[in-house]
Homo-oligomer: A and B are copies of this chain.
Amino acid sequence: MSDTHAAHFSINNIPYGIASSIKRPIPQAVTRIGDNVIFLAELVNKKPFANIDMTALPSILQGSSLNAFAALSKGIHAQVRSAIQATYRSKLHHESAEHIKDVRMHLPVVIGDFTDFSVSAYHVQNAPEALFGVRSLPACWNNFPMGYAGRCSSIYISDTPVSRPLGQYLEDPAAKEKKVIFGPSRSLDYEFELGAIVGRPVAAGTGVYAKDMDEHIFGIVLVNDWSARDIQGCEMRDPLGPLNGKNFATTVSPWVVTLDALRPFEVSAAPHTQPVVDFLEDPKSITYDITFRGEIVRSGVSTEVCRVGFSHMYWTFRQMLAHNSIGGCPLNTGDLLASGTVSGSEKSQLACLMELTMNGKQPATLSDGSALRYLEDGDIVRFTAVAGDASAGVGFGECVGTIKPAPRM
């Protein structure tokens, strides 16, 4: 790990992840304070943990995913958080810790299902404008959060390289005669998103109201929903939504930031102009003050491409999870529900290249002087996010991927 975001991980954060190292080769549950990665199973014999009435806790923290821990009650999560903070408030227990540069981070949870929503009013209007020259809101925009089922087998942990996908796409989308060709994607894009990870499961047929849904959210991660716009555009001429345009790779950040850590950064969610159905009604209507920063590194030179908040998103995670469960569909521990591209109203706030470069037709200029239409082989895409202002000490670390050439067929 080259991640140097120590300031994101103050004692106010206490995120969870899965790590291994040369000393501790079996992946297991960790938290992070500054640059110290703390192996939790080794910590639970400390005094502050003595009050937690749960004999299975050490073995749960030895698991190779956070799923069993995530499924515990919010009460236990709060106790573990307090105990970690109490242990470390006085001093760092170096015997349980390793430096971030000495550990390898793994996917924090086993993800059984992944739903990708699309709840930025800017993104959903900018996208058709970039593609077809027409701005319009989705038909059901005011009724429920719009989303599709994504692919789980290609969800990777941050720092995993992303190979340019192969696929079929229109040689020239503007041509009258549509010719479909096959090859490496010519319009590889990123999408900066947040994702909620399900904690306590929601059983089949027990749809939970948005107002009660925080009980089922373990925490939040960064999500890069890599997209091949040409492949996606070709398959979305038909009505079943994206498939190969999205399923080659999705990158998530290694640290799950809990709702407990985000509580001080609660802000009002975007107001709704139309009444919503009861199960989506949310009197508290809370989201989080989170700021993203995205950059592209090309030829070794970094260019900031996006700086945007999150609180303008039209539907909250509570509402996204409620919608996903209401028909009877079970939400299992570890399921990932992502927000869709977090684009805001300004050009500097656009969180994917399709919007920023109008589908490549209006290139931007990177700091190395090159033109930015879509991603080139060798480009590094990195984004981070912090809650409140940077000094608050609660951040998500980073979500990063380097573009590799398409495989040869």
Residues on A facing B (Cβ under 8 Å)? 112-113, 115, 118, 138-140, 143-144, 146-154, 163, 165-168, 178, 180, 182, 204-207, 228, 231, 234-245, 247-249, 277-279, 323-324, 326-332, 335, 406-407, 409
Whether B139 pairs with A327 at a CB distance below 8 angstroms is no
A144 touches B168 (CB 8 A): yes
CB contacts (< 8 Å) of A236 on chain B: these are: 239
Most chain B CB within a 10 A radius of its CB, from A154, A238, A332: A238
| B residues in contact with A180, CB < 8 Å | 140, 143
Contact of A407 among B165, B168, B205, B238 (CB under 8 A): B205
A166 and B178 alpha carbons, distance in the complex (Å): 40
B329 adjacent to A139 (CB under 8 Å): no
CB distance from A286 to the nearest CB of B (A): 22
A240 cross-chain contacts in B, Cβ below 8 A: 118, 146-148, 241-242
Q: Kindly report how many copies of this chain are found in the complex they form together.
A: 2
Given contacts A138-B238, A205-B163, A239-B236, is CB(A409)–CB(B151) below 8 Å?
A: no
CB distance from A169 to the nearest CB of B (A): 10
Which chain B positions have C-beta within 8 A of A112? 112, 152-153
In the bound complex, do residue B237 and residue A139 qualify as a contact, i.e. CB atoms below 8 Å apart?
Answer: yes
Q: Is the interface of A mostly helix, strand, loop or mixed?
A: loop
Are B140 and A238 neighbours in the complex by a CB distance under 8 Å?
yes
User: What's the Cα separation between A147 and B228 when bound, in Å?
Assistant: 17
26 A-B pairs with CB atoms under 8 Å apart are A112-B152, A139-B238, A140-B180, A140-B234, A143-B234, A144-B168, A146-B235, A146-B238, A147-B240, A148-B149, A149-B243, A153-B335, A154-B330, A165-B327, A166-B328, A168-B277, A182-B279, A228-B327, A239-B239, A241-B241, A244-B326, A244-B327, A248-B329, A249-B328, A278-B409, A328-B407
Q: A139-B178, A140-B180, A241-B241 are in contact. Are A151 and B113 (CB under 8 A)?
A: yes
Q: How far is the CA of A407 from the CA of B323 in the complex (A)?
A: 15
A178 partner residues in chain B, CB cutoff 8 A: 139
Known interface pairs A118-B240, A153-B330; 17 further A-B residue pairs with C-beta atoms within 8 A, sorted by A's residue number? A113-B151, A140-B168, A140-B235, A149-B149, A149-B150, A152-B152, A163-B204, A163-B205, A166-B207, A168-B277, A182-B278, A228-B327, A239-B241, A240-B241, A244-B323, A247-B324, A328-B406
Q: Assess whether B409 is in contact with A247, with CB atoms less than 8 Å apart.
A: no
The chain B residue sitting closest to A237, CB to CB, is: B139
- Distance A28 CA – B359 CA, assembled complex (angstroms): 52
Shortest Cβ distance from A116 into B: residue: B240
